[in-house]
Structure 1
Amino acid sequence: MKTYVIGDLQGCHEQALALLDRIREHAAADGVAEPAMLFAGDLINRGPDSLSTLRHVRKLAMASGGLIDSVLGNHDLHLLAVAYGLRPEHKSDTLAEILHAPDRDELIDWLRRRPLAIRSGEHILVHAGLLPQWTGAQAMTLAAEVQAMLRGDGIEEFLAEMYGNAPAQWSDDLAGADRLRCIINAMTRLRFCSADGVMDFKMKESGTADPSTGLMPWFDVPGRRSARETVVFGHWSALGLKMKKNLIALDSGCVWGGQLSAVCLEDRILLQEQCPQFKEPGKK
Structure 2
Amino acid sequence: MSGEVVELGSDVTDLKPGDKVISISFPTGGGLAEYAVAPASLTVARPPEVSAAEGASLPTAASTALQQLKAAGVSSFDGSGGSNGPRNVLVTAASGGVGHYAVQLAKLAGLHVTATCGARNLGFVRGLGADEVLDYKTPEGARLQSPSGRKYDAVMHCAPATPWSVFAPVLADEAPVVDVTPGIAAAAKSFLQKVTLAKQRLVPLLLIPRKEEMEWLADMTRQGKLKTVVDSRYPLSRAQEAWAKSIGGHATGKIVVEMGGEE
TM-score bucket of the superposed structures, by smaller chain: 0.3 to 0.5
**TM-score normalised by structure 2 residue count:** 0.32
Larger Rg: 2
Q: Relative contact order: is structure 1 or structure 2 higher (C-alpha 8 Å, sep ≥ 6)?
A: 1
State TM-score, norm by structure 1.
0.31
